[in-house]
Amino acid sequence: MSKRDVRSGAELRKRADSMDTLRRTLFVCNACGKKKVKRQGNSLWECKSCGAVFAGGTYSLSTPSGDVAARLIKEYKTR
């Protein structure tokens, strides 16, 4: 259950719950490969093992638009 007082319906409460769980999960570090990246603040992520700091999404390490941009950059580099 979400800690926020979401009162506008079941769908919004479900979304708030999923954002809370996403915000608290650990992600895989791009630098060292360990699953120790934790949210430090709004869009700020830090790996607890190697100390690398990443800028990502507010509630997850990567966003859909960031994934598209990374794929396009990788595609252009290979040409």
The third-level CATH classification (topology) of the domain covering 27-78 is: N-terminal domain of TfIIb (2.20.25)
What is d(CA 44, CA 39) in angstroms, rounded to the nearest whole number?
6
Q: Determine which helix (DSSP H) or strand (DSSP E) holds 4, and give its type and residue range.
A: none
pLDDT tens track for 8-67: 788 888 888 888 888 888 999 989 999 999 999 888 999 999 999 999 888 888 889 989
**pTM for this predicted structure:** 0.72
Q: Say how far residue 49 (Cα) sits from the centre of its chain.
A: 17
Whether the CB-CB separation of 18 and 10 falls below 8 Å is answered with no
Q: Where are the domains of the chain?
A: 27-78
Q: CA dihedral defined by 25, 30, 31, 33, rounded to 10 degrees?
A: 70
